[in-house]
């Protein structure tokens, strides 16, 4: 009986231990998330500085519309092109800035289309501005003739834009590529299909620039050009039949709507505004000559006024400086007002000390503005006197004066400066 109780107790102990082992759950390890460190950066924005804006006023001496398309540059563009289509592309390219016309005043440069006609050896290229839907205006006509030795070219400005008989005749240093193009048997003329609102893919419509900027672009283009040597203005065209060739394609829509904007009316107003009455102007070439002369007169008068103002200012400042120095110096040194600036000069100043010693200071200035000073001292116990002297090397003479308290002033003759 005791044995059974013993075994039952051992069994209970073993059972309890086994149960505790099975039921005990292993402790879980909690993942500790590290604390994030937040860095705070304080950015101090400096106070903006005051920006000084300078306004530059561009003054155009003339704003005539014919000045915004230089026919010399048109001739040079034709000499550079390999075809009439490429010639139209160069005219409207923003890279060369040959075209700066804005006839309809919409704030954008007008597109120029080219229509070509042919009559034997003669080629007439009519240049028109696209101003509105169905509205075109003739600008100029380029007449070309392929001869045996060279290509003969003339650019005739439209009378509405450039006045009567305005012709540019370029002289080429070497043959332009169009000379070989015209010699091809299968050559076909070019008629531009573009109009207002419908432009080629390469075209980006720019805004017009100021007249002086446009002239700078044109001058740069003409300087870097390798075909056109110079241009002159003949009195008549070499082929009068070009008007018959281009007659079916002529468009003067803008002229019919704005006849008051013709060259004759614009020049009348321009001459009246510029006070150049009496000058007979019939085309844009003569108008540019008159404007250039007027501009030269304005520049000359401006320079003259500036020079006279500078001279008067300089003379007044010299006078004031001289009077101030004369009244301030206790030694009473005189200066020569007529001596121009940067002239060699010498100044001598003598002072007498209480012990009777004399101290002389010699200040020399050469033509370059460099100054050298020499000081000399001498002892003199018998006489105490004050000496004042001035020497100017430019005039070649110096004046010395001495004072004696007992005898008064006794001027001496001038001695040459050393």
pTM over 0.85: no
- What are the pLDDT digits (tens) for 391-409? 434 444 333 444 444 444 4
Task: Give the whole-number percent of the chain exceeding pLDDT 90.
Answer: 32
In sequence order, the 6+-apart residues with CB closer than 8 A to the CB of 238 are: 143, 145, 152, 154
Predicted pLDDT of residue 214: 93
In sequence order, the 6+-apart residues with CB closer than 8 A to the CB of 84 are: 114, 116, 125, 189, 190
What average pLDDT score do residues 113-132 get? Answer: 95
Predicted pLDDT of residue 405: 43
Q: Residue 11, SS3?
A: helix
Q: Is the dihedral of CA 224, 227, 230, 235 positive or negative?
A: negative
Radius of gyration from C-alpha coordinates of the chain: 47
Q: What is the mean pLDDT of the chain?
A: 74
Predicted pLDDT of residue 55: 42
Confidence check: pLDDT of 122 > 80: yes
* 87-91, 287-291, 344-348, 383-387: segment of lowest average pLDDT: 383-387
Predicted pLDDT of residue 402: 41
DSSP letters for 380-392: -SS----EEEEEE
- What are the pLDDT digits (tens) for 202-216? 999 999 999 989 989
Predicted pLDDT of residue 36: 53
What average pLDDT score do residues 109-135 get? Answer: 95
- What are the pLDDT digits (tens) for 5-56? 777 777 777 776 555 554 444 454 455 555 555 555 555 555 555 544 444 3
Interior angle at CA 126, CA 120 and CA 127, nearest 5: 150
- What are the pLDDT digits (tens) for 77-108? 999 999 999 999 999 998 889 999 999 999 99
**Torsion angles phi and psi, residue 353, rounded to 5:** -85, 175
Confidence check: pLDDT of 65 > 80: yes
- Residue 126 CB-density burial (10 A; 0-12 exposed, 13-18 middle, 19+ buried): buried
């Amino acid at each position: 009986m005791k044995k059974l109780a013993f075994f039952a107790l051992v069994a209970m102990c073993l059972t309890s231990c086994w149960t505790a082992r099975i039921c005990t759950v292993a402790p879980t390890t909690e993942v500790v998330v590290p604390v994030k460190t937040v860095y705070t950066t304080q950015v101090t924005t400096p106070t903006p500085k005051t920006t000084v804006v300078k306004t530059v006023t561009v003054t155009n001496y003339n704003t005539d519309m014919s000045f915004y398309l230089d026919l010399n540059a048109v001739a040079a563009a034709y000499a550079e092109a390999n075809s009439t289509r490429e010639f139209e592309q160069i005219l409207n390219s923003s890279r060369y800035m040959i075209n700066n016309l804005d006839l309809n005043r919409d704030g954008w440069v007008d597109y120029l289309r080219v229509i070509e006609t042919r009559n034997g050896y003669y080629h007439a290229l009519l240049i028109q501005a696209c101003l509105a839907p169905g509205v075109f205006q003739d600008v100029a006509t380029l007449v070309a003739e392929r001869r045996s030795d060279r290509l003969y070219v003339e650019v005739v400005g439209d009378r509405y834009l450039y006045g009567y008989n305005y012709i540019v005749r370029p002289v080429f240093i070497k043959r332009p590529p169009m000379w070989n193009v015209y010699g091809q048997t299968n050559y076909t003329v070019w008629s531009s299909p573009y109009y207002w609102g419908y432009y080629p893919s390469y075209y980006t419509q720019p805004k017009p620039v100021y007249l002086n900027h446009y002239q700078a672009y044109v001058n740069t283009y003409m300087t870097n050009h390798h075909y056109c040597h110079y241009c002159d203005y003949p009195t008549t065209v070499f082929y009068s039949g070009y008007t018959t060739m281009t007659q079916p394609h002529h468009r003067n829509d803008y002229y019919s709507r704005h006849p008051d904007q013709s060259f004759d009316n614009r020049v009348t107003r321009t001459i009246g505004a510029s006070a150049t009455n009496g000058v007979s102007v019939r085309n844009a070439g003569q108008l540019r000559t008159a404007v250039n002369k007027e501009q030269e007169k304005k520049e000359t008068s401006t320079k003259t006024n500036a020079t006279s103002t500078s001279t008067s200012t300089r003379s007044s400042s010299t006078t004031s400086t001289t009077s101030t120095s004369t009244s301030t110096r206790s030694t009473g040194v005189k200066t020569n007002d007529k001596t121009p600036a940067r002239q060699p000069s010498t100044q001598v100043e003598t002072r007498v000390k209480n012990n009777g010693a004399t101290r002389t200071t010699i200040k020399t200035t050469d033509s370059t503005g460099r100054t050298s000073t020499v000081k000399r001292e001498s002892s003199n116990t018998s006489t105490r006197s004050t000496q004042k002297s001035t020497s100017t090397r430019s005039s070649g003479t110096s004046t010395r004066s001495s004072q004696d308290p007992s005898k008064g002033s006794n001027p001496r003759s001038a001695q040459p400066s050393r």
